[in-house]
């Protein structure tokens, strides 16, 4: 029981703190409204625990034996998020209203290119599983706990977007908000990008010239 409380606390702190998912759902709620953003919200809440469970059951051992696969996926994910950050920053509020918001499947699949979720998945499986027990049962329980925790932790940000919308009443304010969201998305992935570069430097024979 104590272990599951630790998992719940880990899930809460990692899902409620700002990252790509939170910034995207806040951006969607402000630009499209809560009702139109519900599929996006549900895609995160259901797709995230499924992704964590699949990673723990199948991909974790694959990354252990073939770490290059992990590096390729992480690099592709970071590149995608950088492009997404620029798209958000330069999006026009009025044009966004004419486009459909992110749907359920898009949000669920987004978890697979979200570096923060990858770190959450690998960290949760490595920290909260032990060899002495049924590893499959432990991973399924971790996924189930994330399922219950993600709904309120992401939902509070979606609801909060409605309150924020009351203050952003002009096109100028919305454009400034979108620019800030794009910049924050870049900031949120900066530590992961730095870690990825640091790993590549040690993995590949890169020689930097002496100063």
The mean pLDDT value for 77-92 works out to 77
Residue 148 predicted with pLDDT over 90: yes
Q: What is the pLDDT of residue 47?
A: 96
Model confidence pLDDT, tens digit, residues 154-210: 999 999 887 777 776 667 777 777 788 778 778 877 777 777 787 777 766 655 555
Q: Is residue 208 part of a domain?
A: no
Q: Which residue has the higher pLDDT, 170 or 52?
A: 52
**Contact assessment for residue 39 and residue 172, using Cβ atoms and an 8 Å cutoff:** no
Give exposure, 162-186, as e/b (b: 16+ Cβ within 10 Å): eeebeebeeeeebbebbeebbebbb
The mean pLDDT value for 97-124 works out to 85
Q: Is residue 210 part of a domain?
A: no
Q: What is the maximal distance between C-alpha atoms in the chain?
A: 59
**Contact assessment for residue 15 and residue 80, using Cβ atoms and an 8 Å cutoff:** no
Q: What is the pLDDT of residue 97?
A: 56
Q: Is residue 88 part of a domain?
A: yes
Q: Which domain does 160 fall in, by range?
A: 1-203
The mean pLDDT value for 47-69 works out to 82
> Cα separation of 13 and 172, whole Å?
33
Total domains in the chain come to 1
Residues in the chain: 211
Q: Is residue 132 part of a domain?
A: yes
CA angle 60, 118, 156 (to 5 degrees): 135
Q: Is residue 20 part of a domain?
A: yes
Q: Is residue 211 part of a domain?
A: no
> Cα separation of 172 and 42, whole Å?
30
The mean pLDDT value for 52-70 works out to 78
Q: Is residue 28 part of a domain?
A: yes
Q: What is the pLDDT of residue 68?
A: 77
Total-model pTM: 0.75
Residue 45 predicted with pLDDT over 90: yes
């Amino acid at each position: 029981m104590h272990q599951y409380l630790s998992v719940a606390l880990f899930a809460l702190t990692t899902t409620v703190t700002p990252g790509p998912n939170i910034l995207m759902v806040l951006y969607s709620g402000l630009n499209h409204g809560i009702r139109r953003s519900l599929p996006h919200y549900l895609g995160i809440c259901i797709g995230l625990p499924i992704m964590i469970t699949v990673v723990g059951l199948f991909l974790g051992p694959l990354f252990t034996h073939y770490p290059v696969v992990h590096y390729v996926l992480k690099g592709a994910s970071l590149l995608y998020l950088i492009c997404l950050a620029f798209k958000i920053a330069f999006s026009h509020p009025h044009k966004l209203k004419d486009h459909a918001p992110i749907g359920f499947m898009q949000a669920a699949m987004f978890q697979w290119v979200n570096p923060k979720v990858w770190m959450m998945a690998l960290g949760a499986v490595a920290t909260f599983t032990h060899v002495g027990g049924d590893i499959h049962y432990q991973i399924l329980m971790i996924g189930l706990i994330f399922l219950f925790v993600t709904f309120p932790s992401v939902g509070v940000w979606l609801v909060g977007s409605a309150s924020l919308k009351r203050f952003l009443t002009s096109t100028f304010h919305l454009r400034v908000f979108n620019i800030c969201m794009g910049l924050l998305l870049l900031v949120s992935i900066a530590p992961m990008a730095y870690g990825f570069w640091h790993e590549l430097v040690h993995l590949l024979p890169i020689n930097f010239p002496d100063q």
